[in-house]
Amino acid sequence: MTTAEIIAVGSELLLGGRVDTNSLFLSESLAEHGIEVRFKSVVGDDVEDIGVAVTNAARRVNLVLITGGLGPTVDDVTREAVARVTGKPVRLRPLALESIKLRLQSAGRVISENQRRQAFLPSGAVLLQNAAGIAPGFAVKWKHCWIVCLPGVSHEARRMCAESLLPILRREGLLSPAIEIRTIHTFGLLEGEIDNRLRGIIPAASPFRLGLLASPLGVSVSLTRSEKLEKRRAGKRTPTKSDASLDSLINDVIARLGQHVFSIDGRTMEEVVGRHFRDGGFTIALAESCTGGLIAHRLTQVAGSSAYVDRGVVCYDNRAKIELLGVPGSLLKRYGAVSAQVAKAMAQGIRMRSRVDVGLSVTGIAGPGGGTAHKPVGRVYVGLATATESYTKKFQFHGERETIKLRSSQAALDMLRRWLCHASLDEA
């Protein structure tokens, strides 16, 4: 199996405010073609530092993918760094120069001396044409390793990867059957709780690998089966439960995690909820306080949501809760805006005023201030009301304001999902 390392070049990625996103789609694309990404790193715009990163990477993998540092400015030094490491000095590539000129001419511009620098590539390198931008990429064979350089601009790198890089890797025999990865998305259990529930589900001799990834939207459980794992364990075990298909293993995971599982096919919580609404023919209206319209935004991100989303009200102030939802002032005074009683009244109020099937509400303290010993930051109540029944649920979240809002929206949507699926709203 081919192994790879991804190196993102750019001092801005080390100073904050910018995040390396290219490694995400590159990892996914490589896995689809049987290439296992073993390492990722970020390095600044320094020839020596880039050289060290490339040298170290080339010692441990078959494919080094570098993104960034191919532009026309003085701090774009990826070409020079690779040339130094490989001992292949940069040379002017007429085909690359002509491509840059044509691209600029189509935009009514004339090539500058700086832009001409982009046509200088390590000698012997394979030119990777950039159909979406100006900077050409290149691939160079060094010792046992291929070093590939792509632009840092994401859409340019994506297209170059698909149209130029993969054909080279296929020709060199570096592609293999896809690394099979299945992801089970859950909400309502902590990472440690899931680890306990799944303990022992994959025996040591199994060709599968289990991973857990926590986020404000829940915990994702990944199951991976690769050619490398199969070969590593081949011939060293007797038939066991681990020989069952990946589908059987997924069913075992679902059985252990129960209704906390909301998706096994990549759909988001709002997409899952939306499908249930369409299938059931239900409609919904929303009353949001601490989430500030986030739940409505997420629901309406799904195409076709106009069939079931009627309206949403952001009732941040108590006066808005009274005027727009009919929440009694006495209720607010007695229990406070962040309470099960007010969450219930909000859900009932928005449902009755909009004449929909389901009213959903959320009220809480997103922080960083506003909390008390009795109602700390992160205390959130979700309410759900229909024509015949009403439910409320209390949550205690932690994190920054944005994180609490996101978790609150996920909790509200999960409560809605459980109601639509006739599942327990309080399952542990």
pLDDT tens profile 205-217: 788 889 999 999 9
Per-residue pLDDT at 226 = 60
**Cβ atoms of residues 83 and 122 within 8 Å:** yes
Running DSSP on this structure, what letter comes out for residue 178?
P
CATH of domain 269-420: 3.90.950.20
| Residue 371, CB-side half-sphere exposure with 13 Å CA sphere | 16
pLDDT at 196 over 90: yes
The answer to whether the Cα torsion of 204, 209, 212, 213 is positive or negative is positive
Per-residue pLDDT at 424 = 87
Is 302 strand, coil or helix?
Answer: coil
DSSP 29-47: HHHHTT-EEEEEEEE-S-H
DSSP 363-405: EE--SSS---SSS-TTEEEEEEE-SS-EEEEEEE--S-HHHHH
Per-residue pLDDT at 81 = 98
What's the token pair of residue 355? Answer: 């004449």
Mean pLDDT of 138-147: 96
Per-residue pLDDT at 266 = 92
* pLDDT bucket at 100, cuts 50 / 70 / 90: very high
Express each pLDDT in 63-91 by its tens digit.
Answer: 999 999 999 999 999 999 999 999 999 99
pLDDT at 397 over 80: yes
Lowest mean pLDDT: which of 3-12, 224-233, 376-385?
224-233
Domain ranges in the chain? 3-171, 180-263, 269-420
What's the token pair of residue 281? Answer: 């023919």
Mean pLDDT of 206-234: 79
Mean pLDDT of 156-183: 92
pLDDT at 171 over 60: yes
Of the chain, the percentage scoring pLDDT greater than 90 comes to 88
Of the chain, the percentage scoring pLDDT greater than 70 comes to 95
pLDDT at 240 over 50: no
pLDDT at 227 over 90: no
β-sheet with 36-43: strand ranges across: 36-43, 3-9, 63-67, 145-150, 137-142, 126-128
Mean pLDDT of 412-427: 91
Q: Phi/psi zone of residue 45: left (φ > 0), alpha (ψ -120 to 50 degrees), beta? A: beta
pLDDT at 234 over 70: no
Express each pLDDT in 101-132 by its tens digit.
Answer: 999 999 999 999 999 999 999 999 999 999 99
Q: How far apart are the first and last CA of the chain?
A: 42
Alpha-helical regions (H) of 61-197: 78-86, 94-106, 113-116, 154-160, 166-171, 191-197
Per-residue pLDDT at 206 = 80
Mean pLDDT of 359-385: 97
Whole-angstrom CA distances from 49 to 17, 23, 233 are: 21, 19, 38
Per-residue pLDDT at 238 = 41
What's the token pair of residue 334? Answer: 């007695």
Q: Distance of alpha carbon 59 from its chain centroid, rounded?
A: 30
Per-residue pLDDT at 237 = 42
Mean pLDDT of 346-372: 97
Mean pLDDT of 176-202: 93
The predicted model scores a pTM of: 0.77
Per-residue pLDDT at 369 = 95
Mean pLDDT of 90-95: 96
Structure-token match 């059931």, residue found: 280
Fold of 3-171: Molybdenum Cofactor Biosythetic Enzyme; Chain A (3.40.980)
Fold of 180-263: Alpha-Beta Plaits (3.30.70)
Mean pLDDT of 249-275: 96
pLDDT at 399 over 70: yes
* pLDDT bucket at 159, cuts 50 / 70 / 90: very high
For residues 381 and 363, what is the distance between their CA atoms, to the nearest angstrom? 5
309 closest CA partner among 323, 295, 322, 321: 295
Per-residue pLDDT at 426 = 76
Residue 29 burial (CB count, 10 A): 16
Per-residue pLDDT at 233 = 47
* pLDDT bucket at 42, cuts 50 / 70 / 90: very high
Task: Give the torsion through C-alpha atoms of 138, 140, 146, 150, to 10 deg.
Answer: -20
